[in-house]
Structure 1
Amino acid sequence: MNDIPTNFTRRQALAGLGGVSALALLPGCAQQAGLGAAAPVTLTPDEMLDQIAWALLEHEPERATSLGVDTGEHADLRSRLTDKTPEGVAAYAASLRWGLEQARSYPKEGLTDEQRTSFDVIESGYSLALDGMALPYGDIPVGSWRTAPYVVIQNVGAYLDLPRFMDSIHPLRDTDDAEAYIARIEAIPGVLAGELERMKSARAMGVVPPDFLIAKATGQMRTTLLDAMEGGTLVAPLEKADTTVDPDGSYARRAQEIVTTQIAPGFEAQLAELFAQQKVATGEPGMYARPRGEEWYAWALRSSTTTTLSPDEVHQQGLEELDALHARMDPILREIGFTSGTVGERMQALGADPRYQFAEGDPGRAEIMSFIEERIDWIKAQMPRAFNTLVDPNLEVRRIPPAEEVGAPGAYGGAGSKDGTIPGRFWINLRTTDLHRKYDLADLTYHETIPGHVWEGEYSNRLPLIRSILAFNPFSEGWALYGEQLADELGAYDDYKVGRLGYLQSLAFRACRMVVDTGLHAKGWSRDKAVDFFVTRNGSKRAEVEGEVDRYCSWPGQATGYKLGHSRIVDQRARAQRELGGAYDFKAFNDAVVLGGNVPMDVLEKNVGRYIAANSP
């Protein structure tokens, strides 16, 4: 695989997406004629894959904008938002059942490996999502990661998602874009009403979030409401746009009127519902305390790991991996002078060392941003040593909006659009510089950018449209952790041993997640016990892990996929080394994994098997 071409482009990937608008109408026709009817086999495999993709984007038009494919015959998607009503969710499920039938029934003879993988991915992703949608409550991801039993909470809901989306993703290049922007602003009240209906329905079933999550959500909702009333985030993009977009300010004025008279009342209604929930909420953090919670969590683990591992198995694996990682950290700590106490206690002492802390306030924030940019420049230069097939990501680093920081993780990142117009982004939480240390920020940067999320997403963006849409938590996060490992193997910490401690603590942190998530949702752990496990066993920063634990409470299962996915990728590398012997090639293996795209764990094993078969001596 050393002769893989290095000049494939977005243009080539997008070339097959046009000319299929008529096909996108077929799901609607199928619904009228009876869902489940197979489409004509006269469609080529790539046409069928695109048809399934466009049918999905009909229900999630924001994804079309994020990918940069809401153009030409599909430009109407730019004016729409996802239908969050119960009826909208039911229609989405019906469309998924149709797509699943197409994927299962399409003849597989003569397919390329890439095409076969794409159909496998659809079957896995759609089946998982439909199982989740059969549950009576929650916001179910389709080829995504946010397993959310609560439709609106501290890190879930349109009140958070849409202001960020409209500000950073929706394009504003001309008046057509401005008209689409206004159309989406007009659609937001309906989205909020749909969420509100489902919030009330869940409360009627006895499904209420923990009180400490509601307290965070109400504070954030108030901030969003105040921002809306003062002409904030939802109007600002039009005000900042070029004069060719809004020459006389009329679009901005229209947006402000809609926000004030229609959207703000929608926020107020959701806030009132959160207060109603708060009156009956308890401090029980886990799904075990919710109606059908054990069933919901079992599905969430399947979705988040793409395996059938039980909570007990995930919990035990986390404990074992944590012990193994601490055994690697212990000698480094001793070497740099931290010899007394457990690994967790010594890492707490390291974190308290002023040498590794950033300055407080804005000076420290500027220092953090400069540090990140320097590390990105370094790792980008190393990529020819790790891959035969190279990409050049369009990448920017941005601060998480202050209104979101309290409920947000320390950082997150992702690839840009399929057409390259929207950059990949590394979002960093800077509510306090104490969230980060000089020994762990480099590792975080590699995870979110290169060779992690942004880097991997560039390859997925060159696959068929459906493959750019569907992503699987253990691959996404497992690859990002593997990217951290690659940085270490490429010499990131050869002259900075304390940085390797940060990397190993990062892996250990993800092993802790497997323990804590299952502890919270299946073993009756309290919030305090979960926080203390991170602090005492791993030496994690309390300010960081309190928000982390809250995230696990609102996204059950999601946190378990990181280390599990990383371990599966590393296991597959060991398999390739073992079976290929001298024919094994580091760069070729990395290409085989990343070029195979974002896949469930069983499909990853098939892809690596094909790589081994093709390169066996």
Structure 2
Amino acid sequence: MDRRQFLQSGAALALLAGGTGRAMAQATGPAPRAQYDAILEKILAASPQMATTLGLDSGAHAPLKSRLDSRDRAHRLNLYQPLLEAQAALAAAPRDGLGGRDRAWLDTARWNADAAARIAAFPYGVVDNGYNYPCPYAVSQLTGAYVSVPDFLHAQHVIANRDDCEAYLARLASLPGLVDQDTATTIADAGRGVVPPGFVIDRALVQLNALRADRGENAGLVRSLAARAVTAAVPGEWQAQAVAIVDGPLAAALTRQIEAMTSLRARAAAMAGVGRLPQGAAYYAMCLRFHTTTEMSPAAAHKVGLAQVAEISARADALMRAQGHAGGSVAQRITALGKQPDQLWPNTDAGRAALLGDIEARLADMRRRLPAYFDTLPRTPLEVRRIPPAIELGAPGAYSQSGSIDGKRPGAIYFNLHDTANWPKWLLPSTVYHEGLPGHHLQGSIANEDAGIPTLIKLLGSAAYNEGWALYAEQLADEMGVYADFPLGRLGMLQASLFRACRIVVDTGMHALGWSREQAIAYMIDNAGETQDDARREVERYCAWPGQACAYKIGHLEFARQREQAKRRMGGRFNLKGFHDAVLLGGAMPLSVMATVVDEWSRGGRRG
């Protein structure tokens, strides 16, 4: 689960719901809470969509519910602009005398303010408000108002009364202007020599044309408002008003964007990576640093990825040979195992029910194991759900959704069961542990349930931390003995880890070493056992989000490294439950901050 999934999960609504804090050591010194609150207010002003996501678009903030985030040049940093403006003040905030958690929070805020400055140093690129990542292209298959706003309006904009409907229409009416802002930024950046690769433009054009063709009463943007207004029993001509916007100004703005992107297609390079852009090497290094929250260079990351691919492949090879699977490369054998009949559930309702039952059973087993490894456990319930069939084709394979503190909304993990062949029995468990327990649900719920963590800190998050923990959770599940009677299940864990290692190689290969898109796709197929379509989709994603794919495995390696380092330092004093409290209590943080936290804990200091 990435930062956008966390914010859209509904968990962010719980951040301000109050509740009982964890029984843990409390901060001992004065913390810059007023600064955090001031920054948060500016973030909400800069990002009205964030206010809606956080559930803060009512009361004094009610006007924000009628606005969308500006996408003009002056607002290209989005929510990172207030952090940039606060950089000097945060740097001057006294750190001495702060308790462990308060020091970590200040370090986290400072790190993000510095990251904002690093992003702002480049004259091109945006922080796209769909995911809040630094992106080189304002419009791609993953970025742009045309991608993020329709999803936001449907999933985040609540419709409960007339004011909500009016606010929806106001936001919809502003969407054409945002599309035009994206178009202007794209043209301006092209003048600086920043043009997306041809295949990125091609994917974006397919989606842009599809959105422009989605018109009339059946348009998604129209149905979202009209249907929910009926459900909420709000009378009015909402459908007709929405159609007028979608078929008029929005269609015209999309036409202008399509024309601009089509014009740029003739100038687009085939080269996939950002190394070809002005200051491209430095831009990629910035993106890599942002996503991994480390000082690791692209060359060093590439070596790490290659070493991990070799190491994990060797482990997978030995395991498969021990199970009688010896023919072909590791990737070929992984692919073959994915098609083995005895490892598949029938692609029927009964088969899907059996698959979901297996997930439930594994979670129940994990709940019994957790107390031996964790002192702090989440109170939030966890449910297993199928992704609704109506949206399966465009949905990811699996994702988690955090619950609320008050218990009214449980956490959930969703699985795409359009085709059960995508979930062979040996591959499924590692995803259950990654998304559920002891992965995202455990880590996210512990943080969400702690009312003492500043909202700003929860908002900032860290992909390397969040995804690193989830991969560490996969490793931990193995250490807990879940595969003692199912050795092929351990292969599923290794395949997931191998896939993340290949991501590092491919991402750094394209953006720092000049790899082609085709070379990257071939590497994913040959080393991770990916299908052609899946590998293409993954590689093209990395082109639009430089560095993001490296966060997962690098984050995992840091969790594992910090644990082993603490073990060596502490010897017999090491306690795994204590380590887990040290890294979990207080919320997500950059990996560099986590290293300081673990160092303090392992030397006998108290975190907090």
TM-score category of the 2 structures, normalised to the smaller one: 0.7 to 0.9
- Where does residue 254 of structure 2 map in the other structure? 267
- Where does residue 600 of structure 1 map in the other structure? 590
1:144 and 1:472 in contact (8 A); partners too = no
Matches within 5 A, 1:446-595: 446-461=433-448, 462=450, 463-595=453-585
2:77 and 2:116 in contact (8 A); partners too = no
Distance 1:589 1:373 in 2: 28
Deviation of 1:315 after TM superposition, in Å, equals 0.7
Deviation of 1:160 after TM superposition, in Å, equals 2.1
Deviation of 1:466 after TM superposition, in Å, equals 0.6
Matches within 5 A, 1:142-161: 146-161=133-148
Which stretch of the first structure deviates more once superposed, 59-68 or 224-233? 224-233
Which stretch of the first structure deviates more once superposed, 322-331 or 600-609? 322-331
Distance 1:524 1:300 in 2: 16
Which stretch of the first structure deviates more once superposed, 259-268 or 500-509? 259-268
The yes-or-no answer on 1:124 pairing with 2:111 is yes
Any stretches of 5+ residues in structure 1 without a counterpart? 1-8, 17-42
Q: How many residue pairs align between the two structures?
A: 581
Change (3 A) 1:174 1:377: farther
Decide which of 201, 210, 228 is 1:214's aligned counterpart: 201
Deviation of 1:189 after TM superposition, in Å, equals 1.9
Matches within 5 A, 1:212-251: 212-241=199-228, 243=230, 245-251=232-238
Change (3 A) 1:356 1:164: farther
Change (3 A) 1:583 1:175: farther
Q: What is the one-letter code of the residue matched to 1:445?
A: V
Distance 1:170 1:423 in 2: 20
Distance 1:417 1:516 in 2: 37
- Where does residue 30 of structure 1 map in the other structure? none
Change (3 A) 1:119 1:615: closer
Deviation of 1:381 after TM superposition, in Å, equals 5.4
Deviation of 1:360 after TM superposition, in Å, equals 5.7
Q: What is the one-letter code of the residue matched to 2:200?
A: L
**Normalising by structure 1, what TM-score?**
0.85
Change (3 A) 1:528 1:419: farther
- Where does residue 58 of structure 1 map in the other structure? 45
Matched residue SS, 2:494: helix
Distance 2:270 2:349 in 1: 35
Q: What is the one-letter code of the residue matched to 1:232?
A: A
Any stretches of 5+ residues in structure 2 without a counterpart? 1-11, 20-29
CA deviation string 1:125-154 (max 9, x = no partner): 121122112212222369966342111111
2:386 and 2:417 in contact (8 A); partners too = no
Distance 2:97 2:382 in 1: 36
Decide which of 59, 78, 87 is 2:74's aligned counterpart: 87
Matches within 5 A, 1:375-414: 375-376=362-363, 378-379=365-366, 382-391=369-378, 392=380, 397=385, 399=387, 410-413=397-400
The yes-or-no answer on 1:303 pairing with 2:317 is no
Deviation of 1:481 after TM superposition, in Å, equals 0.7
1:414 and 1:449 in contact (8 A); partners too = no
- Where does residue 275 of structure 2 map in the other structure? 288
The yes-or-no answer on 1:138 pairing with 2:128 is no
CA deviation string 1:498-547 (max 9, x = no partner): 12101111111111111111111111212222122122223333332221
1:530 and 1:549 in contact (8 A); partners too = yes
Distance 2:375 2:242 in 1: 48
Q: What is the one-letter code of the residue matched to 1:469?
A: L
Deviation of 1:164 after TM superposition, in Å, equals 1.8
Decide which of 243, 254, 262 is 1:256's aligned counterpart: 243
2:356 and 2:384 in contact (8 A); partners too = no
Distance 1:541 1:10 in 2: 38
Change (3 A) 1:366 1:556: farther
2:430 and 2:492 in contact (8 A); partners too = yes
Distance 2:338 2:513 in 1: 30
Distance 1:184 1:417 in 2: 27
Decide which of 46, 50, 57 is 2:33's aligned counterpart: 46
Deviation of 1:243 after TM superposition, in Å, equals 4.8
- Where does residue 5 of structure 2 map in the other structure? none
Matched residue SS, 1:140: strand
Matches within 5 A, 1:397-436: 397=385, 399=387, 410-413=397-400, 415=402, 426=413, 435-436=422-423
- Where does residue 101 of structure 1 map in the other structure? 88
- Where does residue 102 of structure 2 map in the other structure? 115
Distance 1:475 1:552 in 2: 19
Which stretch of the first structure deviates more once superposed, 456-465 or 210-219? 456-465
- Where does residue 158 of structure 2 map in the other structure? 171
CA deviation string 1:134-193 (max 9, x = no partner): 212222369966342111111222222222222222222333333332332222222212
2:446 and 2:585 in contact (8 A); partners too = yes
Change (3 A) 1:177 1:302: same
Identical counterparts, % of pairs: 36
Decide which of 292, 305, 311 is 1:318's aligned counterpart: 305
Distance 2:32 2:83 in 1: 18
